[in-house]
Amino acid sequence: MSLDTATVRRVAALARLRLEEQDIARVQGELNGILGWIEQLQAVNTEGVAPMAGGTPGGAAAMPMRDDVVTDGDQAEAVLANAPDREGEYFGVPKVVE
Amino acid sequence: MHPTDFTLAGALAALNEGAISAEELTRAHVAAVEALNPKLNAFITTTSEQALEAARASDARRKRGEAGPLEGIPLAIKDLFCTEAVRTTAGSKILGNFIPPYESTVTAQLKRDGAVFLGKANLDEFAMGSSNLTSAYGGVLNPWQRKNDPAARLVPGGSSGGSAAAVAARMALGATGTDTGGSIRQPAAFCGITGIKPTYGRCSRFGIVAFASSLDQAGPFARTVEDCAILLRSMAGHDPKDSTSANQPVPDFAAACARSVKGLRIGVPREYRLDGMPAEIEKLWRQGLDWLRDAGAEIVDISLPHTKYALPTYYIVAPAEASSNLARYDGVRFGLRVAEKDSDLRDLYERTRAEGFGAEVRRRIMIGTYVLSAGYYDAYYLKAQKIRALIAGDFDAAWAKVDAIVTPATPSAAFAEGENTDDPVKMYLNDVFTVTANLAGLPGLALPTGLDHQGLPLGLQVIGRAFDEETVFAVGAALERAADFKAVPAMRAGA
């Protein structure tokens, strides 16, 4: 499966990565190189195989449940400490609604 | 003896006997960092003042009889671990000014046990790379040199390249790393030191900048197997802040280093004999197996039939998880923001991420976004998860026949800057022997056992059952005793 330039543009938009027009051909080549290499997986018979969705040995079932209680919070200053822009106790962003 | 030549265990003994103070030990390492870092670039941020202050506090604790298991030991911390009030960049421009208001669980435990932090070690951006060259803060120079070409700038491996170089050059007694596809074991092998990626879930991921959450594991670097075992005991343990952290007792890993390997069954996977594998790697491997046989282990041929699919599987799973994890870098809550005067929110996102992420990170986000996108999810991501199950199943079957598996750690010794960069896939092949342990969630240790024809270190890897790091340490220590690896890099403290 090979990506055309329209797909490269669409994926960049989905990933919220600005892609300059002059870079599209290069990125397309790199992605197609990687995807072409990955293509060999289609040859593997996976019928009836349950997907492994996490890294935990024994599967997700081995993961513990925890109590659904608040354990942290009330730290607005720490949360906002690295914000590029803030107004009071809010993150600042460009105007979203006209 | 120069204090930077201590092993970690040796330094602990010297501190206990009062032969050296934590302040003296730290001062020697701070001096090594200041002398060597301008050349090696192993640290992105150095915290010499804080280190000396921590060392004095450590001496005071020892005097009061409150010494912890790592009391006064100077370490390098991969700059992927959040450290409270100390800048944490993940090797990325997008986190260039990020000062975490909290501490990762692993570094908090190291501090609890008395360790002293020398600074934040360089790495590939967001831990994505095998050369340390994707770091936004420049590459790291491998302290080893080729005999016939000492001017060649060799890479330390990656992603934990700064950690490995710092320990090899004796700028630190040990270091933390993380390993998603080989990022501890490959740089350990390239730099002639020891490193272990423990079982998935052994160390908490809380406060470690996420790359691929189902594969990421923290682990230690040091110059001996026992030193790694000492560090891992402090780093490991259950943490309620990470739901994948295992609620398992943490054994005395250092004690396991003294265990005999007599009667252990050591697996040799035939699929790891790659076409075109250099003869010296083949020889190193055979030599390692001979040593284990001499020590009383039984060598057993095994098959891990899906091995050849591991790397392409990894390059679906890891980018998919990365594209999700890295969605948080939006120029709003923390990190870099890039916007034009008339930017709307979407334009702010797109400019921030295009400028804040380097080429390899953008490439992996794109791959990950594509394989998760509507219409392709089943063909790529779900398919990869199923093959991952088959790879894990190969190991499950092997554990019926063997107690540990021994393989080469890397397909070659350290390469030079500029090599393997023409094609991303060529760089990815560095992890061919290590990536299977991440996919299966198993512990893997790399240690140096020989030199190549250029005088560069080569390593072997020991893979074990889930939560059986003890056997891995026992086998690693047996190989270490037999190899008696004494070679040192050209660039090191005290040289």
Write the pLDDT tens digit of every residue in B329-356.
999 999 999 999 999 999 999 999 999 9
A15–B365 CB contact, under 8 Å: yes
pLDDT of A61 reads 65
A60 touches chain B (CB under 8 A): no
Does the annotation count B159 as an active-site position? yes
| Buried/exposed code over B44-62 (b: 16+ C-beta within 10 A; e: otherwise) | bbbbbebbbebbbebbebb
DSSP state of B64: T
pLDDT tens digits for range B410-423: 999 999 999 887 77
CB contact (8 A) between residue A30 and residue B363 = yes
Contact B116, B21 (CB under 8 A): no
Active-site residue flag, B401: no
Distance of CA A66 to CAs A63, B102, B205, B206, B210, Å?
10, 22, 17, 16, 22
Strand intervals (E) in B249-393: 265-269, 298-302
Min Cα distance B308 → chain A (Å) is: 10
H or E element, residue A90: strand A90-91
- What is the reported pLDDT for B412? 93
Judged against a pLDDT cut of 90, whether residue B494 lies above it is answered with no
**B225 CB neighbour count, 10 Å cutoff:** 26
What is chain A's mean pLDDT, rounded? Answer: 91
String of b and e for B415-443 (b: at least 16 CB within 10 Å)? bebeebeeebbebbbbbbbbbbbbbbbbb
CB contact under 8 A, B363 and A78: no
Query: Tens of pLDDT along B341-399?
Result: 999 999 999 999 999 999 999 999 999 999 999 899 999 999 999 999 999 999 999 99
Element (H, E) at B46: strand B43-46
Residue of B nearest to A71 (CA): B241
What residues contact residue A47 under an 8 Å CB cut-off, 6+ apart? Answer: none
Find the mean pLDDT for residues B214-242: 97
Question: Is A1's pLDDT higher than 80?
Answer: no
Chain B nearest-CA distance from A88, in A, is 14
CB atoms under 10 Å from CB of B277, counted, come to 15
If pLDDT is split at 50, 70 and 90, which confidence band does A41 have?
Answer: very high
Dump pLDDT digits (tens) for A63-94.
Answer: 777 889 998 899 999 999 999 999 999 999 99
- Per the structure block, which two tokens stand in for B402? 């063997």
What token pair was written down for B2? Answer: 């120069």
Q: What b/e string do you get for B307-323 counting C-beta neighbours within 10 Å, with b at 16 or more?
A: bebbbbbbbbbbbbbbb
Confidence of residue B495 (pLDDT cuts 50, 70, 90): confident
Chain A hits for B350, CB-CB cut-off 8 Å, are 13, 16-18
Q: What is the DSSP string of B112-161?
A: HTT-EEEEEE--SGGG--SSSTT-TT-----S---SS-TTS-B---SSSH
Q: A61 to chain B, minimum CA–CA distance in Å?
A: 11
User: Are A50 and B369 inside 8 Å of each other by CB?
Assistant: no
Find the closest chain A residue to B329 by CA distance: A16
pLDDT at B202: 97
Report the residue from A7, A55, A83 with minimal CB separation from B200: A55
- Give whole-number Cα distances, B362 to A11, B331, B356, B419, in Å: 11, 16, 10, 21
Q: In this predicted model, what pLDDT tens digit does every residue of B95-118 receive, in sequence order?
A: 999 999 999 999 999 999 999 999
**Residues written for chain A:** 98
Give the dihedral sign, CA B75/B76/B78/B84.
positive
Per CB-CB distance under 8 Å, the chain A contacts of B312 are 37-38, 40-41
Contact call for residues B299 and B390 (beta carbons, < 8 A): no
In angstroms, the CA B368 to CA B212 distance is: 11
* Interchain proximity A18–B353, CB inside 8 Å: yes
Q: What is the DSSP string of A25-76?
A: HHHHHHHHHHHHHHGGGGGS--TTPPP--SS-TT-GGGSPP------S---H
Decide if A27 and B363 are in contact by the 8 Å CB cutoff: yes
Pairs of CB atoms within 8 A across A/B = 168
How confident is the model at residue A57, as a pLDDT?
73
Whether the CB of A96 is below 8 Å from some CB of chain B: the reply is yes
Is residue B194's pLDDT more than 90?
Answer: yes
Angle at B161 between CA B281 and CA B415, to 5 degrees: 40
Task: Sort out which chain A residues have CB atoms less than 8 A from B332's CB and list them.
Answer: 83-85, 91, 93
Both tokens of B344, joined, read: 């709307």
What the block records as the tokens of B321 is 């998880």
Identify the closest residue of chain A to B84 by CA–CA distance. A78
**Half-sphere exposure (CA, 13 Å, Cβ side) for B263?**
2
Cα B131–Cα B134–Cα B140 angle in degrees, nearest 5: 55
Report the gap between the CA of B203 and the closest CA in chain A (Å). 12
* Average pLDDT along chain B: 97
pLDDT digits (tens, 9 = 90+) for B258-294: 999 999 999 999 999 988 889 999 999 999 999 999 9
Residues 6 or more apart whose Cβ sits within 8 Å of residue B242: B105, B204, B205, B206
Rg (CA), chain B: 21
Whether the pLDDT of residue B425 is over 90: the answer is no
E strand or H helix that includes residue A82:
none
CB proximity list for B445: less than 8 A, separation 6 or greater: B185, B194, B195, B196, B197, B225, B228, B461, B462, B469, B472, B473, B476
Greatest extent of chain A over all pairs of C-alpha atoms, in Å: 57
Residue with tokens 């804080």: B50
For helices B22-40 and B48-63, give the axis angle rounded to 10 degrees: 160
Which residue of A12, A56, A66 is in closest CB contact with B244?
A: A56
What distances in angstroms separate CA B334 from CA A79, B364, B413, one per listed residue?
9, 22, 39
Helix axes B359-372, A24-38, angle to 10 degrees: 60
Contact B214 A96 (CB under 8 A): no
Give the CA count within 13 Å in the CB-facing half-sphere of B47.
Answer: 22
pLDDT tens-digit map of A44-64: 999 999 999 888 776 666 777
**Which chain A residues are closer than 8 Å to B362 by Cβ?**
17
Mutation for A interface: B308, B321, B332, most A CBs within 10 A:
B332
Query: What is the per-residue pLDDT for B134?
Result: 97
Over the range B199-208, which residues count as b (16 or more CB within 10 Å of their CB) and which as e? bbbbbbbbbb
Nearest to B128 by CA among B428, B483, B334, B422: B428
Beta strands B404-408 and B457-464 are antiparallel
Residues of B within 8 A of A49 (CB-CB) are: 386-387, 389-390
Mean pLDDT across A2-10 = 95
Beta bridge partners of B405: B267, B463
Residue B170 has pLDDT above 80, yes or no: yes
**Do A12 and B366 count as a contact with CB atoms less than 8 A apart?**
yes
pLDDT tens per residue across span B67-91: 999 999 999 999 999 999 999 999 9
Tell me which chain B residues have a C-beta less than 8 angstroms from the C-beta of A15.
323, 353, 365-366, 369
pLDDT of residue B430: 85
Nearest alpha-carbon partner for B162 in B104, B230, B85, B89: B89
